[in-house]
């Protein structure tokens, strides 16, 4: 299972369905804004083992209730209150993840307090069912969802940037693609266009940066259609020049700049 498939499975699932056991060994591409999201998910899920070994008396950790109960002491919590908040504070998914993460640590502190009071059976029950389990699963799911949202935006930007190469290869005959002006000129057929109409609209619709992307993206595809039409009329040299000056590069740069503005730190 690939990294994105793993994250998508977690983001779309409820209770642990085996996705954790199938986690890919390679976490390349999982780091965003100073956080390796795969490592964060792994570390979060290890809390259960850490608490379980503490309850059983086999842990060498000196865990303190007042520390475990706080949501700003673990690596994920420190990220949430620093780079994470600066980068994704506008996101509803981030806000939900932050709230559930705080609730999770309160639940973990309750488990630890019961263990330190000698109530091992109660501590184990708290760990294996109820609020702790629900909060833990919710944090895992929201972490995965946040990563997928960010990765989708990056994928959309990468796909947009590749248009120049695709068109240049088509014009010079280096491409095997069969491009049609009627399709290329539309703004709802490419990867970015589909993202704008689905996940992008759902999570960022109404934001000025998002509306700017929508407008510039439509102009870009109109310009791309003109480039392709010129090439298909036999004016290849003129089409190549259109890729480097005029409406096409201007619209392309504006789309990229608007995408970057949407995801830049607040």
Q: Are 153 and 159 in contact (CB under 8 A)?
A: no
Whether 9 and 60 map to the same domain: the answer is yes
Domain identity same for 8 and 49: yes
Q: How many structural domains are present in the chain?
A: 2
Residue 195 sits in the same domain as residue 82: no
Q: Determine, yes or no, domain membership for 155.
A: no
My answer on whether 7 and 99 are in the same domain is yes
Start-to-end Cα distance in the chain: 34
136 and 172 share one domain: no
Q: Domain of residue 169: give its range.
A: 162-263
Q: How confident is the model at residue 1 (pLDDT cuts 50, 70, 90)?
A: low
What are the residues whose beta carbons fall under 8 Å from the beta carbon of 65, sequence distance 6 or more?
109, 112, 113, 116
Q: Which residues pair with 36 in a beta bridge?
A: 31
Q: Could you read off the pLDDT of 7-38 as tens digits, one per residue? A: 777 877 544 444 444 555 566 667 777 888 88
DSSP-assigned beta bridge partners for residue 147: none
Domain with residue 167: its CATH number is 1.20.120.30
In a domain, 100, yes or no: yes
Q: Average of pLDDT values for 197-215?
A: 86
Same domain as 89, residue 18 = yes
Does residue 266 have a pLDDT over 90? no
State how far the Cα of 226 lies from the Cα of 220, in Å rounded to an integer: 10
Residues 13 and 122 in one domain: yes
Q: Which long-range contacts (CB under 8 A, 24 or more apart) does 185-188 make?
A: 185/221, 185/222, 185/224, 185/225, 185/226, 185/228, 186/221, 187/217, 187/218, 187/220, 187/221
**98-139: pLDDT as tens digits:** 999 999 999 999 999 999 999 999 999 999 988 999 999 999
For residue 83, tell me if it sits in a domain: yes
User: 124 with 33, same domain?
Assistant: yes
Domain annotation covers residue 156: no
23: tokens are 């986690």
Same-domain check for residues 170 and 146:
no
């Amino acid at each position: 299972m690939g990294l994105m498939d793993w994250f998508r499975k977690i983001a779309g699932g409820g209770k642990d369905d085996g996705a954790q056991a199938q986690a890919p060994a390679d976490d390349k591409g999982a780091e965003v804004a100073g956080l390796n999201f795969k490592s964060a998910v792994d570390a979060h899920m290890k809390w259960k083992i850490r608490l379980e070994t503490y309850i059983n008396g086999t842990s060498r950790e000196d865990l303190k209730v007042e520390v475990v109960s706080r949501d700003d002491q673990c690596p994920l919590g420190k990220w949430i209150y620093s780079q994470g908040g600066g980068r994704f504070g506008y996101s509803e998914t981030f806000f939900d993840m932050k709230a559930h993460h705080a609730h999770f640590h309160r639940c973990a502190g309750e488990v630890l307090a019961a263990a330190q009071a000698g109530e091992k059976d109660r501590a184990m029950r708290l760990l294996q069912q109820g609020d702790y389990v629900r909060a833990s699963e919710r944090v895992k799911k929201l972490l995965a969802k946040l990563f997928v949202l960010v990765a989708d935006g990056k994928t959309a930007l990468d796909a947009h940037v590749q248009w120049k190469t695709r068109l240049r290869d088509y014009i010079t005959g280096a491409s095997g693609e069969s491009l049609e002006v009627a399709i290329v000129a539309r703004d709802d057929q490419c990867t970015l266009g589909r993202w704008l109409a689905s996940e992008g609209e759902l999570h960022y619709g109404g934001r000025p940066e998002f509306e700017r992307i929508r407008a510039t993206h439509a102009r870009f595809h109109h310009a791309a259609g003109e480039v392709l039409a010129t090439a298909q009329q036999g004016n290849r040299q003129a089409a190549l020049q259109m890729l480097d000056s005029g409406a096409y590069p201007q619209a392309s740069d504006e789309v990229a700049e608007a995408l970057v503005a949407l995801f830049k730190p607040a």
